[in-house]
Amino acid sequence: MSDYKISTKCVQGGYTPGNGEPRQIPIIQSTTFKYATSEDMGKLFDLEASGYFYTRLQNPTNDMVAAKICDMEGGTAAMLTSSGQAANFYAIFNIANCGDHVVASSTIYGGTYNLFHVTMRKMGIDFTFVSPDCTEEELNAAFRLNTKAVFGETIANPALTVLDIEKFAKAAHSHGVPLIIDNTFATPVNCRPFEWGCDIVTHSTTKYMDGHGAGVGGCIVDSGKFDWMAHKEKFPGLTTPDDSYHGITYAEKFGQGGAFITKATAQLMRDFGSIQSPQNAFLLNLGLESLHVRMPRHCENALAVAQYLKANPKISFVTYPGLEGDKYYDLAQKYMPNGTCGVVSFGFKGGRGAAETFMKHLRLAAIETHVADARTCTLHPASATHRQMNDEELAAAGITPDLVRFSCGIEDAADLIADIEQALAQV
Ligand SMILES: *Cc1c(COP(=O)(O)O)cnc(C)c1O
């Protein structure tokens, strides 16, 4: 599929049926797989042959869908996980262990920030958070001898900052470590980070990829471009023998293109078991089949909503990287010339009270913690996800008490604007 355009990959990637085989990908709803001899199975356990033996580690349906996402991103190997959280945890923990350090953008998704700052710190992995707008000098100063990776989001949820991928890739590579990017909000339809020097991509497939609010899931894709052997001493997990698999060395046995995902499957999936159910993988694939059609509509609607809000006298600010004049407009034009995402955030001249009144009167846009759904959904963080924080703490998190996050679906833009208009009339 690799020569086809992204739209064709969305529809047909990952699975090509043979003569008389099902047109749609089969759901292999089986925990286990049968073998004729113990020797056959033994080869799988030694990673000497490839095949399936237990769905805690791998399942054929999942692998077909992972292969499609791999193709869409332009990678060499990929795996599905049970959630975006699991994808980001595995991507980091596959190369950073107790005593190691990671440099991350400070505006990443709150769930990922908590995973890194609280939970992974308890595991002995340290993180330095840098502003995505930092200078090259500030970025380089964040590295230590034990730094193992750099992490950021193409478009941050919900801050909507755009990562200067080339700047972060250059710093990561000059320190001999890979750049890992969470590409959830842009999706490979709008941005393919591997084309700009990123080494590993993660996704919360729960968002646009599924697109219908049907299933939680995640994905990790390897570009196959990072040379682990050239930095042998930094990545012993990939470049020295694994005793739990009879002493195989992943980077030698599976090469630059396969080592990262094979290790994450063989060790992390085996031990943590955050596998996506094959049913959910099937639903995810249905979402992927129309991703290339939905993304432009999400972006079109978001731009129309952002432009409407920008011109409204009751609105104090509008943040949308696709809106001319936005702080990240130029970076968005460079990395995502065809569109960014469907999420817009804005504030009210009337402050917190105005935001609360506005939310109360919306009819079409639903109040949800979710984003990136076909149906428009919205959230007032100060009274929902961030309600335990006072105004000072909110400011530190980059959220003002009047901020509303508005995730434009794929309905008619005129209906979305009419809903906003009638709710604003009450403010
Ligand atoms: C939602 C989200 C996650 C977490 O994904 P889940 O599927 O909810 O576990 C990670 N990163 C980003 C950018 C997200 O939007």
Single-letter code of the amino acid located at 236: P
Every domain of the chain with CATH number 3.90.1150.10 lies at 294-424
> How far apart are the CA of 341 and the centre of ligand 1, in A?
15
Q: Is 219 helix (H, G, I), strand (E, B) or coil?
A: strand
Whether domain 294-424 has CATH 3.90.1150.10: the reply is yes
Mean pLDDT of 73-84: 98
How much is the average pLDDT of 341-357? 97
At 386, the pLDDT band (50, 70, 90 cuts) reads confident
* The ligand 1 atom nearest the CA atom of 88: 10
pLDDT surpassing 70 at residue 254 = yes
> Residues 255-303: pLDDT tens digits?
999 999 999 999 999 999 999 999 999 999 999 999 999 999 999 999 9
Confidence of residue 164 (pLDDT cuts 50, 70, 90): very high
Backbone angles phi, psi at 213, to 5 degrees: 60, 35
How many A from CA of 84 to the centre of ligand 1? 5
Where residue 392 falls among pLDDT bands split at 50, 70, 90? Answer: confident
Ligand 1 centroid, distance to 185 Cα (angstroms): 9
**Ligand 1 centroid distance, CA of 204 (Å):** 5
Residue 105 in contact with residue 136, Cβ under 8 Å? no
CA 108 to centroid of ligand 1, rounded, Å = 10
Q: Tell me which architecture the domain covering 6-286 has in CATH.
A: 3-Layer(aba) Sandwich (3.40)
User: What spacing in Å lies between the alpha carbon of 371 and ligand 1's midpoint?
Assistant: 10
Q: Whose CA is nearest to atom 7 of ligand 1?
A: 84
Instruction: Return d(Cα 244, Cα 253) in angstroms, integer.
Output: 15
Domain with CATH 3.40.640.10 in the chain: 6-286
Residues 210, 43: Cα–Cα separation, whole Å = 35
Across residues 372-385, what is the average pLDDT?
A: 93
Q: How confident is the model at residue 329 (pLDDT cuts 50, 70, 90)?
A: very high
With cut-offs at 50, 70 and 90, classify the pLDDT of residue 393.
confident
- Three-state SS letters, 333-361: HHHCCCCCCCEEEEEECCHHHHHHHHHHH
Q: Which of 91, 27, 16 is nearest to 59 (CA)?
A: 27
Residue 387 has pLDDT above 90, yes or no: no
pLDDT at 1: 66
Angle subtended by helix axes 351-361 and 413-425, to nearest 10: 130
Mean per-residue pLDDT, 18-46: 94
Q: Whose CA is nearest to atom 1 of ligand 1?
A: 204
Instruction: Out of 39-43, 238-242, 393-397, give the one with best mean pLDDT.
Output: 238-242
Nearest CA to ligand 1 atom 5: 84
pLDDT tops 90 at residue 246: no
The pLDDT, as a whole number, for residue 138 is: 97
Q: Which of 109, 154, 283, 284 is the best mutation target for the ligand 1 pocket, counting ligand atoms within 8 Å of the beta carbon and taking the most?
A: 109
- Determine which residue's CA is closest to atom 15 belonging to ligand 1: 157
